[in-house]
Chains A and B, each alone.
Chain A
């Protein structure tokens, strides 16, 4: 092995090592306390006059917990809300409204965890949210209010709605009916599945907690945003359900002591998506309802509808979502769950007339939190003994950020001292709030040495990759462009806006790159009609591609081509024509490969010819052979879209729609995948035969092209319908790039720019919320984490995969028409000297490309070397940004998601696609 290859291998191996080391330091495993909490010894019993083990009497014994997914605060409290009944309850004093602050990541599973355990879920839950079947993410063994209520006498739980709950709490529920949010276009069925249980459950008196989780409102948001015309009717529908349940609570004796909670698990941003930490996403509504609440609402804010107190979505008082757990513990009479970091909502203290009961409730909450604090800071003193704290707590050290634990210890001492003199609730609340704040920020205690080690390993990989590169002199503009891109990118990774708006960087750089190609080509020869210059056409196509999907945060929801009326409603025939054209194009290409392969089995012709073209009969056969595959793929896409995005199939004939809706999606996808595998196998066999028989041993790399076209069809199958026309544009770009005679470095630069551009152009961004899951279950009938994970990657990185493969073909000039001109045969007397010159140039060009493909010039190694350098640089900069900015406000909302994306790029894209698929294409290109 050449030393450079060795270095390159080493550089590549360092990348996963760096990621692993960094990730273990950045997302540390958070220990949690096992077992159910019990009422524990409280102390100060004599002074306060309470008996151990007898908590204050709970005002409620049953709970109806109604979650409406993505119920943003203004959907309930605002002036445009459709939830008039809830608002009337607020005015009446039988409902107590809050805005419940949800921490990022604002997606359902971590939010349900926060609501039920009272803890602040770690960022790793985001990954586990997508790997839902993973048993480590269940809450079966954790202490939650569900576990506490189930452990009570006659504790029986009932659940209807989002099956996330069933996955988190396996075997918890007496009766359950889960709905999965498979098709986001389903606004009604998911909710009717829940609502149909309401009348029956209201008559039952065996349950003590009934959980409902409605998904329709979230689906409307994802599909059409918060201002969709469907939004208000959905709110009215939810309001009616609240009315039904509340009226039953008012009138039925067995529901007399029922607490009814309506809440959202998270909100949504203006684009209707969630996952990040925009105010809209983190501000769900929270309403406690019961006729009994009138006792405590005398002095609370009853105005409704109202305006937000501050910001856009902060209505009434802002509490933490985790506060729900300890509040339920007090109101329903069970111990606060062990890992809770929530604080009892103080408005409810007025339920207890005795001051000592109030103090006891808070103190139990505080002691439970103190245990977590103790476990986090084992060296500090959190005993109940009063001691002299003036010295350690007044020193300036306490104010320093390193001694958050010390500050908490001091506050706890404050509680202890106040308890032993005269009891008030304020120091206890103060301690709890401080503990909540400190513990949620230390919810991830970074392991700094590991962060630094991981970053250094990535840097080492960059250095190694750098030394594998061929000589850097003379300095070429395309080399400078590549280096400049890497440099600017690493600077950008330190600015949160540029991480959020990363697509703009790539669009901007790619436009400039095509302009550079235009200038550089113009130096060689001048096209009088420069509008048709390949580089200009590339730029024009790029301009269309970048407008196809609006992405990023700042202008989320702005107009784009996909959402323009040109392609919607009755105009959807346009988009389907384009989709059909894309499938047609790929099918035609495939048919050519199949035709070639059929001709390879033609013994007669292969005897005396090296590379022979297919006959007309072969081509016809090829078309017939490919037609079923192309047609199945197209029909599958139509059937899938009719269910997933019906607004895109409005212009299609009803009869056709009815027919495709009867088809099995899983079966259809499997047929497409099997057809692809079959075709690949067949073409491989034929090309291999052809390569073996070839006398000169020089193939044209047709098999690599065939594989590329098969991969394209696979990628199209994994792409949302509205994005499929982009592949026509990609194909055009690929064509014009092959017209330009690019140097290897320029091809690598183009590969880098276009992989990144297409990633964002397909609608992705650096936010978790933009991950598209709609195509991740194609052909998968039961949950299979490997298959689904693979398909998630393919469907989100389809564009990058396309251009990585295209880059390999450009590099090796695979499948280009070969002229086979023999220079010796060129006539000396040829009177068109220029023509001769031209032909000779073509010959040398062809020879150079052939040489490149044979691996003589190390073009492949240089290509992988540059892309390894890129991956190393991007990982190093993202890791350095995460390390240096770990106390930044946006660390969990901007930089951590970016790190996860960088990991996906570094591992799945770089190893799987650049080295794996790209290497395979390069290898078979020599056949």
Chain B
């Protein structure tokens, strides 16, 4: 059987939910962001139904800009070695006393670059994995390859980009993410919501309504967008800090 990574090598601090950056812009923008994302999708919906491949491709660019702006404004970037929360606490006291040396420079170094890295990672690593998952869940194998791939790209931009930004690429953290072991916060809630929404998005396909929008992968992407907004909202407010219990 497969090897089992020994988790006891180094005791880890219990994971804490991700908090927003402690400023008003972050607190405000985190609520504006899902509205912007949904509006973008609503605006593009008609053309996506008409011809999914070019429309979904062109929507990727504004979506990634929106996601980058969101993580840069609202979320603490991953701290490299330590956990995100520790990084946050270190930064908090220093925030008021010291005037930031070269605000623009540190903003680019500390936020924009990690955000772009998350974008690259989620496109390059998460999208193929998600494409495989979609196929596993019943996406067509022999046809509609660009459709499925674009669908996975949208899901990965929505779900994994913020996760990579706040958690980095630590294997153990990602194991916890997949095993639903992390406490819920708006980033994690957004991911769960996106995946769950995409899964529910398959429901209307078999109906005999003969609508254009029933075609692959419109309902899945729609489900993912709605799921993202709902999951982010619920994860950031109602269920924040809760853990998902299995047994």
- Name A residues whose Cβ lies closer than 8 Å to a Cβ of B: 476-477, 495-498, 500-501, 504, 507-508, 511-512, 515, 519-520, 522-523, 525-530, 532-533, 536, 539-540, 543, 546-547, 552-554, 559
Contacts and interface: CB of A to CB of B under 8 A. Distances in A.
Contacts of B206: 497-498, 500-501, 504, 552, 554
Interface of B: 1-5, 7, 135-138, 141-142, 175, 178-181, 199, 202-203, 205-209, 246-247
Contact of A523 (B142, B179, B208): B179
Given A476-B246, A508-B137, 9 more contacts: A497-B209, A498-B207, A511-B136, A522-B178, A526-B5, A528-B3, A528-B4, A529-B3, A554-B206
A496 B207 CA distance: 8
Contacts of B142: 559
Contacts of B137: 508, 511-512, 515, 543
23 contacts: A476-B247, A497-B208, A497-B209, A500-B206, A501-B206, A504-B206, A508-B199, A508-B202, A508-B203, A512-B199, A527-B1, A527-B2, A528-B3, A528-B5, A529-B3, A532-B1, A539-B136, A540-B136, A543-B135, A543-B136, A552-B206, A554-B206, A554-B208
B243 to A, nearest CB: 11
A520 B246 contact: yes
A511 B3 contact: no
B180 A519 contact: yes
Given A511-B137, A523-B180, A504 B205 contact: yes
Nearest to A552: B206
Contacts, number: 75
Contact of B175 (A508, A526, A540): A526
A522 B175 contact: yes
Given A501-B206, A508-B202, A523 B246 contact: yes
B208 A532 contact: no
A225 to B, nearest CB: 20
Given A511-B138, A539-B136, A559-B142, A519 B178 contact: yes
B211 to A, nearest CB: 12
B214 to A, nearest CB: 10
Contacts of B135: 543
B170 to A, nearest CB: 13
Contacts of B246: 476-477, 520, 523
Contact of B4 (A525, A532, A546): A525
Contacts of A532: 1-2
B242 to A, nearest CB: 15
Contacts of A529: 2-3
Given A512-B199, A522-B178, A522-B179, A527 B136 contact: no
A523 B138 contact: no
B145 to A, nearest CB: 15
Contacts of A552: 206
B212 to A, nearest CB: 15
A533 B2 contact: yes
Nearest to B203: A508
Contacts of A496: 208
Nearest to B210: A554
Q: Nearest 5 A-B pairs (CB), nearest first? A: A501-B206, A527-B2, A522-B179, A497-B208, A523-B179
A472 to B, nearest CB: 15
B102 to A, nearest CB: 42
Nearest to A518: B178
A331 B116 CA distance: 84
B199 A528 contact: no
A476 B246 CA distance: 7
A495 B207 contact: yes
